[in-house]
Amino acid sequence: MVALPLAGGSVAHAQSSPKDTPWSAEFAIGWDNSISGNINSSGIGTLNGQAVVITKNTYDDVYGTGLHIRFGGGYLLDDFTEVRATFSFQSLDADLTPMGDIGVSRLYGQYDDYKSFGLDVGFRRYVDLQPGLRAYGEGTLGLAFIEETDVTLVAPGANFTGDVTDFYDQTAAFTLGGNAGVVLQMSSNIDMFGQVGIRWVSGMSAIDNLEGTGLETINDKSGRWTMPFLTGVRVRF
């Protein structure tokens, strides 16, 4: 994104009026960086007849940075305002995670990978920086369909292994986001772009397989904030 303004002068000859090509289709790929949100909260209870302490884990603790793919399109209402619809796919690999203590043993959890597929709609507003180079800001809202998430709990020192099936059920979560980026015109109908944004995803559907253990609330608050960074190509027609 820093390099794009420097390259803008070399493609100025390719500039065309946006209203000449109001439709667009695009593909982008990048990273999904977790900002906040807990995959599990803390709690005190019993498992396998032993006292257990669960410590909270954020999405960043368990999943870190993951893949974010987006594809979709838009239509220009005028030279500077665009209505858009995009599909997003997110995939984050889970690491083995310390969960707390059970009896005299450490407790660990292996979560399923986090995968979601969503649809976002919104409005984008452009501003011209120089010939062939535009900046934009946009707001979006939509739905994300998140796969079922299970976790396997293991305590080697207590000789305990337990599957907590459907820790979170398959979920349709609400999403809200905002993005800012720049678009570099490469030819009469092809652009390159880069953007950074912030995105909120509501919590997943909790399943109380831990009922009666005192740990029923550790999966009640799973909403998350992320900062996706994407680069991609757009075709206008």
Q: Can you give the CATH number for the domain in which 127 is found?
A: 2.40.160.20
In the numeric block, which tokens belong to residue 137?
Answer: 């800001």
Q: Say if 9 falls within a structural domain.
A: no
Q: Say if 80 falls within a structural domain.
A: yes
Angstrom distance (rounded) from CA 181 to CA 53? 44
* Of 193, 189, 194, residue with least CA distance to 235: 189
Range of the domain at 84: 37-236
- pTM metric for this prediction: 0.84
Q: Are 30 and 229 in contact (CB under 8 A)?
A: yes
pLDDT at 102: 93
Q: Say if 56 falls within a structural domain.
A: yes
**What is the rounded average pLDDT for all residues in the chain?**
89
Angstrom distance (rounded) from CA 190 to CA 192? 7
pLDDT at 185: 94
Q: Say if 20 falls within a structural domain.
A: no
**Percentage of residues of the chain with pLDDT beyond 90:** 73
For 6, the enclosing helix (H) or strand (E) is helix 4-7
The number of folded domains in the chain is 1
List phi, psi (to 5°) of 159: 55, 45
Q: Say if 31 falls within a structural domain.
A: no
Q: Say if 210 falls within a structural domain.
A: yes
Model pLDDT for residues 2-22, shown as the tens digit of each residue: 444 444 444 444 455 666 789
In the numeric block, which tokens belong to residue 90?
Answer: 């997110």
Average pLDDT over residues 175-195: 96
Q: Say if 140 falls within a structural domain.
A: yes
pLDDT at 49: 84
Model pLDDT for residues 72-130, shown as the tens digit of each residue: 999 999 999 999 999 999 999 999 999 999 988 999 999 999 999 999 999 999 999 99
* Of 47, 157, 44, 159, residue with least CA distance to 104: 157
**Given pLDDT bands bounded at 50, 70 and 90, which one contains residue 202?**
very high
Is the pLDDT score of 1 beyond 70? no
pLDDT at 6: 40
Model pLDDT for residues 154-165, shown as the tens digit of each residue: 999 888 887 666
Q: Say if 215 falls within a structural domain.
A: yes
Angstrom distance (rounded) from CA 154 to CA 124? 47
